Amino acid sequence: MLVKTALLFFLTAIAEIVGCFLPWLWLKKNGSAWLLLPAALSLMAFVWLLTLHPAASGRVYAAYGGVYVLTALLWLRVVDGVKLSVWDWSGALIAFCGMLIIVAGWGRA
């Protein structure tokens, strides 16, 4: 269950990041306003993906935060080309471990 949940969270994070990145391109990089259409679709996918988890919404949001941190840093590295520091990786590892702890407790509380 942990692997399936983590993968679903990564997919969810990509949908959220794309949904926010495209308007950023439009506003900051003089991109086309047409970027707003796939951005809106991506954010709708983000919301739908969050509903696929069996836990209460607050637990889902809390656990998702850990995966989002890691995914956002990977986006920073791959898309923006910024080299990550040991501080970036350490923070991401701690956040991801927090997600694993929260998900491991689903159904036990």
Q: Tell whether the torsion through CA atoms of 53, 59, 62 and 63 is positive or negative.
A: negative
- Residue burial 81-93, b: 16+ Cβ < 10 Å; e: rest: eeeeeeebeeebe
Determine the structural domain holding residue 82 and report its residue range: 2-104
Measured CA distances, 105 to 24, 26, 34, 40, 56 (Å) = 36, 41, 42, 33, 12
Whether 31 is covered by a domain: the verdict is yes
CB 92 within 8 A of CB 69: yes
> Which tens digits make up the pLDDT trace of 44-97?
999 999 999 888 888 899 999 999 999 999 999 999 999 999 999 999 999 999
> What pTM was estimated for this model as a whole?
0.88
Whether 109 is covered by a domain: the verdict is no
Taking only Cα atoms into account, the Rg of the chain, rounded to an integer number of angstroms, comes to 15
Burial-class residue 68 by CB neighbours within 10 Å (0-12, 13-18, 19+).
buried
Whether 35 is covered by a domain: the verdict is yes
Domain count within the chain: 1
Q: Tell whether the torsion through CA atoms of 10, 13, 8 and 36 is positive or negative.
A: negative
> Which tens digits make up the pLDDT trace of 5-38?
889 999 999 999 999 999 999 999 999 999 999 9
